[in-house]
Chains A and B, each alone.
Chain A
Amino acid sequence: MSDPILTVQNLKKHFIIGYTEPPWKRQPITVKAVDGVSFEMLSGETLGLVGESGSGKSTVAYIIVGMYKPTDGKISFMGKDLYQESKRPRELQKAIQIVFQDPGSSLNPRQNIKQILEMPLRVHQKGKSYLEMVIHLLEIVGLPPEAMYKYPKMLSGGEKQIVGIARALATNPSLVILDEPTSALDVSVQAKTINLLLQLQKEFNLSYLFITHDLSLMRNVANRVEIMYLGKICEVADTIDFFQKPLHPYTQMLLSSIPVISEEEESLRPQKVISRGEIPSPVNIPKGCSFNSRCPFVMPICKEIDPTFTKMEKGHSVRCHLYNKQI
């Protein structure tokens, strides 16, 4: 875990979802899905990205993997600018892969597992028979060769997700984005899948961008955690610091909302901040700090000025007026 493998600088993604009336004076209605996100990922680490709907976490992931073009900002992977050319070069396509959230829809229901796993092989390697490579992939993730001719609906949720992981590994990536990889799975299946992911990470020296809203899971998987709200990062810290000393009120609200199963964990949850209010629509982001409509510690300045990052201690930064002593 040493050098940065991915550097994201001031990333922005705005979607135009329509126009205002009247038609002769129309203005575009934009959703600022991602509005100025900067972070670094180190080689071999698991960076956790936490957020709820509208936070922009999935959009960040999709931009990194090449699904969307950023509206502004720069992303460098191993020193190379990802968006320098209009079409991403093959090398970079192979190096960054993604595992989607919903195993049910991330596999083509009309293809069998062999065809699903052949697709990335076929794109990046010429050859007549991919049979051996497919079997090898299945072996790596712990599935028997008989699974090859099965269709997704014959597999359980956990097995489907494992196929998704195998597909992501087929191109020898260095960075794998995991978008809520276990949210749709039962808790015991989740454990198996996470363990497989961790084992694969060690074996193949992968870096993971792990997106989830499950903080208990994050606590046990990530090296560092970032939390996003309505397109911006609120807090970044090493995992242990993040959970022992959550600074941002949204972080505290999130932590206090998780159902836990032991008293020990209950005592770790912030007791004072409970969830209230609705998540505003990303079309109508409040002025000033986007969390001001729900924040229990809101101050007048929060409704006017959007806070900037304050570095608190090693690796722990928070973007909140409560800690911004300069003003």
Chain B
Amino acid sequence: MNQSSIPILEIKNLHVNFKVYGGLLRVLDGLDFHMYAGEKIGLVGETGCGKTTTMKAILRVLPMPPAEIPTGEISYKGHDILKMKNDELKMVRGRGISMIFQEPTAALNPVFTIGEQMEAIIQNNIRDRRSTSSINIKELAGLSLKDVALADTDRLLKSYPIQLSGGMRQRVCIAMALSTNPEILIADEPGTSLDVTIQDQILRLLRDLVEKRNMSVILITHTLGVVRELTNRVYVMYAGSIVETAATKKIFQKPLHPYTKGLIATVPRLSGGGIANGIPGRIPDYKNPPSGCRFHTRCPYVMEICKHEKPSLYQIEEQHSVACFLYTAGE
């Protein structure tokens, strides 16, 4: 993978809290993450682990009360997004970092045609760039749609979202996200709301597009099979922080963290073998999270130290780090 000098996106020790009835939800508890240009990173975690919160924090769309960010830094090409002013942010959103959402139906405004929505996006992001004024915006929109393998683009541009199938809507969302030529694409569970044969087509399309444009991608999902097919590096997230990160192949061949192991074990196999037992317990209450390692209440290998101290990410080998006292030197 490309290793330019600084990561294109880096998150350092991010903490995010939410003020709610009865106290403070301490959701993100020191998140560390980095991505170099051209990488395809998977962010894996189950519902409630904080991946959506992380994503919203990157794009700075968290509702600021009740959310608050006491510490942490999110650097995009070296500049801290959290400290940016509005005009700097406009450069980042859409042109630097673009997003595709899980539910394409919800992401498209039902009362505007596809053409109107795409043109609005292109227009917003073209204004400050040099010289694409010679190309008609409508043409650009049509080209974006062709890029995602949609045919009959003229008719499509005049249609309303409700007239399209789920797969087509997802392609339109991808086209919209890519029309601004972002450097980073964040894809939140792409295709989960679609039928499996359509999802397969969408994922293959995404893979091709990303290769062609050499984009950096953050793929957020809880489906491990998708991660294996689309990413080269994985971060596994649990209850607000990263518990393990490794190259994709490694994570499936040699998962180290007990949570990762448990997760992989519960995926039903096409080869049979029954269903594993699952991970006992439930995700922690963020008002009163477990002390020390947040996974210790569910961990089959829990030790005394896990209840008191929180392990930080420790590098085991090249591109493989774990946050677990089972592997930290000194134990």
Pick from A221, A259, A278: contact of B223, CB under 8 Å = A259
* 29 A-B pairs with C-beta separation under 8 A: A53-B166, A157-B47, A188-B46, A188-B266, A190-B266, A192-B278, A216-B267, A216-B270, A219-B269, A219-B271, A220-B268, A221-B268, A257-B196, A259-B203, A260-B228, A261-B267, A261-B269, A262-B269, A262-B271, A264-B269, A265-B269, A268-B271, A275-B200, A276-B201, A278-B165, A278-B168, A279-B165, A279-B195, A279-B198
Q: How far is the CB of A197 from chain B (nearest CB, A)?
A: 10
Q: How far is the CB of A124 from chain B (nearest CB, A)?
A: 32
Q: A187-B263, A188-B263, A216-B269 known; A261 and B252 CB under 8 Å?
A: yes
Q: How far is the CA of A217 from the CA of B197 in the complex (A)?
A: 16
B48 near A191 (CB under 8 angstroms)?
Answer: no
Asked if B82 CB lies within 8 Å of chain A CBs, one says: no
List A contacts of B264 (CB < 8 A). Answer: 261
Pick from B201, B263, B271: contact of A264, CB under 8 Å = B271
Q: A191-B278, A261-B228 known; A215 and B165 CB under 8 Å?
A: no
Asked if B167 CB lies within 8 Å of chain A CBs, one says: yes
User: B192-210 CB contact bits vs A (8 Å, 1 = yes)?
Assistant: 0001111111010000000
Q: How far is the CA of A260 from the CA of B273 in the complex (A)?
A: 14
Q: How far is the CA of A168 from the CA of B201 in the complex (A)?
A: 37
List B contacts of A254 (CB < 8 A). Answer: 196-197
Pick from B203, B223, B270: contact of A215, CB under 8 Å = B270
Q: How far is the CB of B232 from chain A (nearest CB, A)?
A: 15
* Interchain residue pairs A-B with the least CB separation, the first 5: A259-B225, A257-B200, A191-B278, A192-B278, A186-B46
Q: Restricting to B212-264, which residues have a CB under 8 Å from any CB of A?
A: 222-226, 228-229, 252, 262-264
A191 near B275 (CB under 8 angstroms)?
Answer: yes
List A contacts of B195 (CB < 8 A). Answer: 52-53, 213, 279
List B contacts of A217 (CB < 8 A). Answer: 268, 275
Asked if A195 CB lies within 8 Å of chain B CBs, one says: yes
Pick from B167, B225, B266, B274: contact of A260, CB under 8 Å = B225
Asked if B272 CB lies within 8 Å of chain A CBs, one says: yes
Asked if B277 CB lies within 8 Å of chain A CBs, one says: yes
In the complex, the chain B residue whose C-beta lies closest to that of A253 is B197
List B contacts of A255 (CB < 8 A). Answer: 270
Asked if B276 CB lies within 8 Å of chain A CBs, one says: yes
Q: How far is the CA of A240 from the CA of B272 in the complex (A)?
A: 9
Contact-residue size bin, chain A (C-beta under 8 Å from the other chain)? 35 or more
List A contacts of B272 (CB < 8 A). Answer: 219-220, 240, 243
Pick from A240, A258, A276: contact of B196, CB under 8 Å = A258
List A contacts of B59 (CB < 8 A). Answer: none
List B contacts of A219 (CB < 8 A). Answer: 268-272
Asked if B282 CB lies within 8 Å of chain A CBs, one says: yes
B278 near A259 (CB under 8 angstroms)?
Answer: no
Q: Which of A215, A254, A258, A261 has the most CB of B within 10 A?
A: A261
Asked if B279 CB lies within 8 Å of chain A CBs, one says: yes
User: A198-226 CB contact bits vs B (8 Å, 1 = yes)?
Assistant: 10000000000000011111011100000
Q: A188-B266, A220-B268, A259-B225 known; A156 and B48 CB under 8 Å?
A: yes
Asked if B302 CB lies within 8 Å of chain A CBs, one says: no
Q: How far is the CA of A157 from the CA of B199 in the complex (A)?
A: 23
List B contacts of A52 (CB < 8 A). Answer: 195-198
Q: How far is the CA of A254 from the CA of B196 in the complex (A)?
A: 7
Asked if A189 CB lies within 8 Å of chain B CBs, one says: yes
In the complex, the chain B residue whose C-beta lies closest to that of A51 is B195
Q: A156-B283, A258-B225 known; A187 and B197 CB under 8 Å?
A: no
List A contacts of B168 (CB < 8 A). Answer: 278
Pick from A195, A262, A274: contact of B277, CB under 8 Å = A195
List B contacts of A259 (CB < 8 A). Answer: 200, 203, 223-226, 228-229
Q: How far is the CA of A20 from the CA of B282 in the complex (A)?
A: 53
Asked if A269 CB lies within 8 Å of chain B CBs, one says: yes
User: A172-198 CB contact bits vs B (8 Å, 1 = yes)?
Assistant: 000000000000001111111011001
User: A27-62 CB contact bits vs B (8 Å, 1 = yes)?
Assistant: 000000000000000000000000011000000000
Q: How far is the CA of A275 from the CA of B228 in the complex (A)?
A: 19
5 additional A-B residue pairs with CB within 8 Å, beyond A219-B268, A258-B196: A52-B195, A187-B263, A220-B275, A259-B200, A261-B269
List B contacts of A194 (CB < 8 A). Answer: 275
Q: How far is the CA of A213 from the CA of B222 in the complex (A)?
A: 17
List A contacts of B266 (CB < 8 A). Answer: 187-188, 190-191
Q: How far is the CB of B102 from chain A (nearest CB, A)?
A: 12
A187 near B222 (CB under 8 angstroms)?
Answer: yes
Q: How far is the CA of A254 from the CA of B200 in the complex (A)?
A: 9
In the complex, the chain B residue whose C-beta lies closest to that of A155 is B282
Q: A195-B278, A261-B225, A278-B165 known; A216 and B268 CB under 8 Å?
A: yes
In the complex, the chain A residue whose C-beta lies closest to that of B265 is A191
List A contacts of B278 (CB < 8 A). Answer: 188-192, 195
B270 near A258 (CB under 8 angstroms)?
Answer: yes
